[in-house]
Chain A
């Protein structure tokens, strides 16, 4: 690959935008939040982040945003991934490796079915407090 400049990057984005329907951050149909505290990184959060990006590209999902968060207090089940998709319950998955990340994209985000064997059924107390749920 030849060295890209910021202008090339802008052009790539415009090309992609043209190919997509109009949308903005508020209109996203889903959100993936990856735990990236020291524990998340140590447990392989970065590989999971890469796997999500790669699988989004493969499956052709464009309307999901990826965010990072700190330690959720579930260090023993890192990497953790919280997934919010339209029409689906908000779920925290635990022990997510690359393959599970790919399954979450294919089964949860695309297929609208929970990846049951990795569900961490209850978010940690501080998350419940923070979101008021």
Chain B
């Protein structure tokens, strides 16, 4: 998930939206951005683990973000899709069976979200987190307006506490 958000940042997106929806049967998420997008040809190449556009690391011969996602989807009875249009943006969707033993644990979402919010970028990242009965939303722009510098360690602790409280509330709602 963090890798995909990073991809969107690198595609020079100004708006990124991560939606994560969890129920007892299914885990589903999507990352949608208004970045550079990919042509059909690049989309096909992007799912090859031995393809990288070579912009970030000139000598690197692997690009594992999307291949890992597809592999996880396949291993967990789920599906991952890429929709993209050059110049318009990209939408990546993923779903998996929640109880599947090969599904990597989500871990503590509060710290994952805190890290995504403080990644260096000029994009506004929105995170929508849903369960069956409740949801909450986070926006990087709102957090920045509220707190200021998102790399400040004190602010990071506050963000983590804040998201932790929203997570706790979500869990209570079931």
- 8 Å CB interface, B116-174 against A: 118-120, 142-143, 146-149, 151-162, 164-166, 168-169
Residues of chain A with a CB closer than 8 A to B166's CB: 3-4
Given contacts A4-B166, A36-B115, A38-B64, contact A9 B147 (CB under 8 A): yes
Residues of chain A with a CB closer than 8 A to B159's CB: 9
The smallest beta-carbon distance between B125 and chain A, in angstroms, is: 13
- 8 Å CB interface, A1-52 against B: 1-4, 6, 8-10, 12-13, 16, 20, 24-25, 28, 32, 36, 38, 41, 46, 49-50, 52
Given contacts A46-B111, A62-B154, A68-B118, contact A6 B146 (CB under 8 A): yes
The smallest beta-carbon distance between A124 and chain B, in angstroms, is: 11
Given contacts A9-B158, A12-B158, A46-B115, contact A38 B153 (CB under 8 A): no
Residues B120 and A67 in contact, CB atoms below 8 Å apart: yes
Residues B111 and A61 in contact, CB atoms below 8 Å apart: no
Q: State A73–B3 Cα separation when bound (angstroms).
A: 16
Residue-wise, chain B 9-48 has the 8 Å CB interface mask toward A (1 for contact) of: 0000000000000000000000000000000000000000
Q: State A24–B155 Cα separation when bound (angstroms).
A: 12
Residues B149 and A65 in contact, CB atoms below 8 Å apart: yes
Q: State A10–B159 Cα separation when bound (angstroms).
A: 10
Q: State A50–B159 Cα separation when bound (angstroms).
A: 12
**Chain B interface residue count, Cβ-Cβ cutoff 8 angstroms:** 40
Verify if A57 is at the interface (C-beta below 8 Å from B): yes
Given contacts A25-B149, A49-B115, A67-B151, contact A6 B142 (CB under 8 A): yes
Residue of A nearest to B56 (CB): A70
Verify if A71 is at the interface (C-beta below 8 Å from B): yes
Residues in A lying within 8 Å of B, measured CB to CB: 1-4, 6, 8-10, 12-13, 16, 20, 24-25, 28, 32, 36, 38, 41, 46, 49-50, 52-53, 56-57, 61-62, 64-71, 73, 126
| Contact sample, A vs B, 27 pairs, CB 8 Å cutoff | A1-B161, A3-B165, A3-B166, A3-B169, A4-B161, A4-B162, A9-B143, A10-B146, A10-B147, A12-B158, A36-B119, A41-B2, A41-B3, A46-B107, A46-B111, A49-B111, A49-B115, A50-B111, A52-B153, A53-B153, A56-B154, A62-B153, A62-B154, A66-B118, A68-B115, A70-B6, A126-B57
